[in-house]
Amino acid sequence: MTVVTGTPGTGKSAVAEELERRGWMVVRAAETVGPFVLGDDPDRDTSVVDEEAWVRSFAPVDGIVEGHLAHLLPSDRAVVLRCRPDVLEGRLQARGYARAKVRENAEAEALDVILVETLEVHPQETVLEIDTTNLSLAETADLIEGFIRGTVPPSSGSLDWSAYLMEGL
């Protein structure tokens, strides 16, 4: 099983659709967490999920699991999609996200939150970090397929967007 994860707006859903078009079986993590939602957090405009219970109950699949919590699942490979925070802000604003939610997600991206969480679950040699800022869906899907097939080597930790956090100070 391969997981594709990342901060909202990095391209997970879109690349998952591209991978499906190419014949891959894709499970959307968001469609499996329903029974594990504990409630809503109105301050953060999100649902609170019992992540540990979800992970324990998740049956491995022969394919790809996509979602911003997918990296919590044990898997053979983990792909972390990344996007430069200023570009990510634009993508999330276009979706109609509230300003506070846009900023929270852009800061999480600048701080490598999803990558760090991924590396807490997955050995570094099983993780591929992809900067989707200027890649097409086809190029991103090609890299993921190559990683699954072993022709694209693992790599992580090469992106540093921490300067984003200093902007506007």
Asked whether residue 157 is marked as a ligand-binding residue, the answer is: no
| From the candidate CATH numbers 3.30.1490.190, 3.40.50.300, 3.50.30.50, 3.40.30.10, the one assigned to the domain spanning 2-158 | 3.40.50.300
Asked whether residue 101 is marked as a ligand-binding residue, the answer is: no
Cα first-last separation, the chain: 43
Q: Around Cβ 132, how many Cβ atoms within 10 Å? A: 24
Domain spans, the chain? 2-158
pTM assigned to the model: 0.94
The answer to whether 81 and 135 have CB atoms below 8 angstroms apart is no
Please write the tens of the pLDDT for every residue from 3-60: 999 999 999 999 999 999 999 999 999 999 999 988 887 777 778 889 999 999 999 9
Nearest 5 degrees, angle CA 31-CA 72-CA 75?
Answer: 95
Asked whether residue 9 is marked as a ligand-binding residue, the answer is: yes
Asked whether residue 11 is marked as a ligand-binding residue, the answer is: yes
More confident residue, 38 or 138: 138
Asked whether residue 84 is marked as a ligand-binding residue, the answer is: no
